[in-house]
Structure 1
Amino acid sequence: MIELTGDPDRVLTVSDFAAAAELGVRITTEIRYDQFNEFARLAGEGILVVPVARTYTLDQIQEAAELSQSRRPGGKLMLVL
């Protein structure tokens, strides 16, 4: 992702802390897996809404990165594997 963003400060990982330290990217441990059921319930009730601007496949990742860097994607960008 650093190659796409051009800046380690624009990359955030939730899993590979050793590589993050080596590459200078940010980390977070604030993933609340214990709250996923509640998030799903709220989403199902229409209370929690996450707007998705567009989905991308792996071969479109450069296009997704460019839209993300424009800071005007109009919602979340999702990578579909």
Structure 2
Amino acid sequence: MPQCNPYTGLDLTTAHSPSSLSADEITGMAKKISADITDLYQLMGDDLSEQLGISASYLAHIFGQVTSHSGI
């Protein structure tokens, strides 16, 4: 029975190298990471924002820039 990584949704019983991931899988992971970061900020509140010195929206903006420039 396949075991899925709860964070990425990838099958842990199958070897995955960066070259074996499809663009859709990478995009899906990127979107999930972005959403999870935003959720984390909302759960942790202002304390985390102050510790990191950046807001969730700014982090999402940076992440969007990185993914758009890398063709994701």
For Structure 1 versus Structure 2, the TM-score category normalised by the shorter chain is: under 0.3
TM-score relative to the length of structure 1: 0.21
Q: Which of the two has greater helix per residue?
A: 2
Q: Which of the two has greater strand per residue?
A: 1
TM-score relative to the length of structure 2: 0.23
